């Protein structure tokens, strides 16, 4: 099972967050897990587990930004999205945030303080809240020749130690395939990735953007891309690629998806 949750925060103090707040929300996420259970914290935080079984957005609302930083006032509406790719973790992650909500525990958010205001987990309560099953995603996928993706937050890739900000089909679907094969239980063969070297964006509306973190900066791209899969891919391979495109809503794409980057959805 996959799940996408929307968490609403109550900001108790003004705060200044780097970038879109993904780094600070990453810290908040793990503090809430640690407060709930050291065992759960260790399982999710495991540095050796790659890819990671979750993704986090930055602050979803548009806020005042200056010089690469996000400025929050006390009492502002702030929300983030958490997606969970490993169904075994869903009950504990929900329980950890429910504990924080019920006890009104105060947590640090960068240089400010916050509490949990609400947890949205019912399908349809928000465009960002949804759940599904891996078999369902695969069964409902069509062998469409065109795939359109919207990159809602800056997206980048780490290639041979360098940052790559090109929306190459091999990188995008390679990122999705790695997560799918790690968590779905329905393993796709990787051979079709070589065929994707001949698949290029047929249409795109993109812009580049610099994202500030505490000790570094990352350039990513945002916007929309269309891919035409062509005739070299089999019908089954196209079905798998379409399943991966639907999976992007949960998985995110590329680098630092646990800190707000690579938030992606099919359009």
In angstroms, the CA 122 to CA 106 distance is 25
Cα 252 to its chain centre, rounded Å, is 4
Measured CA distances, 183 to 1, 2, 63, 178, 187 (Å): 9, 10, 34, 9, 9
Residue 218, domain CATH: 3.30.70.1900
Residues 140 and 259 in one domain: yes
Please identify which residue in the block is written with the tokens 């794409």: 253
113 and 230, same domain (yes or no): no
pLDDT computed for residue 231 by the predictor:
87
For residues 6-35, average pLDDT: 96
Would you say 206 and 225 are in contact if contact means Cβ atoms under 8 Å apart?
yes
* Pair (206, 253) in one structural domain: yes
Same domain, 114 and 193: no
Over the chain, what is the mean pLDDT? 94
- Give the per-residue pLDDT at 39: 93
Same-domain check for residues 152 and 124: no
Instruction: Write out pLDDT tens, residues 253-262.
Output: 999 999 999 9
Token pair for residue 243? 């399943």
Looking at the structure, tell me whether residues 34 and 62 fall in a common domain: yes
Same domain, residue pair 108 and 216: no
Share of the chain above pLDDT 90, in %: 86
Q: How far apart (Å, rounded) are the C-alpha atoms in residues 169 and 248?
A: 13
CA angle 78, 41, 84 (to 5 degrees): 60
Answer yes or no: pTM beyond 0.85: yes
**For residue 134, what pLDDT is reported?**
98
Residue 185 shares a structural domain with residue 159: yes
Question: Is there a single domain that holds both residue 101 and residue 141?
Answer: no
pLDDT 10s digits, 160-172? 888 999 999 999 9
Q: Tell me: the pLDDT tens digits for 111-127?
A: 999 999 999 999 888 99
Task: Note down the domain range covering 48.
Answer: 2-130
Distance CA 78, CA 66 (A): 18
Query: Do 126 and 138 sit in the same domain of this protein?
Result: no
Question: Does pLDDT of 149 surpass 80?
Answer: yes
Which of 74, 95, 130 lies at the terminal end of a domain, its last residue? 130
Q: What is the band of 196 on the pLDDT scale with cuts at 50, 70, 90?
A: very high
Asked whether residue 154 falls in the same domain as residue 235, the answer is yes
Residue 65 has pLDDT above 90, yes or no: no
Distance, in Å, from the CA atom of 231 to the CA atom of 217, rounded to the nearest integer, reads: 39
103 and 141 housed in the same domain: no
Residue ending a domain, among 97, 130, 163, is: 130
CATH number of the CATH domain containing 93 = 3.30.70.1890
What is the per-residue pLDDT across 90-101, written as a single tens digit (0 to 9) for each? Answer: 999 999 999 999
* Domains held by the chain: number: 2
- Cα gap 160→176, rounded to integer Å: 18
Q: What is the pLDDT of residues 24-47, one digit of tens each?
A: 999 999 999 999 999 999 999 987
Q: Which of 130, 152, 187 is the last residue of a domain?
A: 130
Residue percentage of the chain with pLDDT more than 70 = 100
């Amino acid at each position: 099972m996959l799940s996408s949750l929307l968490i609403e925060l109550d900001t108790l103090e003004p705060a200044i967050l780097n970038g879109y707040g993904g780094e600070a929300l990453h810290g908040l996420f793990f503090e809430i897990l640690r407060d709930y259970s050291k065992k759960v914290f260790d399982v999710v935080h495991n540095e050796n587990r790659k890819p990671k079984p979750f993704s986090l957005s930055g602050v979803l609302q548009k806020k005042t930004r200056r010089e690469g930083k996000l400025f929050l006032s006390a009492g502002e509406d702030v929300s983030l999205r958490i997606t969970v790719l490993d169904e075994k973790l869903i009950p504990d992650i929900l329980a950890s945030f429910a504990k924080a909500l019920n006890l009104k525990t105060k947590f640090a958010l960068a240089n400010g303080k916050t509490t949990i205001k609400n947890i949205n987990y019912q399908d349809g309560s928000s465009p960002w809240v949804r759940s599904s099953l891996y078999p369902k995603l695969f069964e409902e996928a069509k062998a469409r020749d065109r795939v359109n993706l919207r990159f809602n937050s800056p997206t980048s890739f780490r290639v041979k130690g360098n940052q790559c900000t090109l929306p190459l089909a091999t990188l995008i679907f390679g990122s999705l395939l790695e997560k799918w094969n790690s968590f779905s239980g329905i393993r796709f063969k990787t051979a079709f990735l070589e065929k994707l070297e001949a698949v290029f964006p047929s249409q795109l509306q993109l812009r580049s953007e610099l994202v500030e973190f505490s000790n570094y900066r990352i350039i990513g791209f945002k916007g929309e891309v269309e891919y035409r899969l062509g005739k070299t891919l089999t019908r089954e391979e196209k079905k798998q690629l379409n399943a991966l495109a639907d999976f992007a809503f949960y998985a995110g794409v590329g680098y630092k998806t646990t800190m707000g980057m690579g938030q992606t959805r099919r359009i």
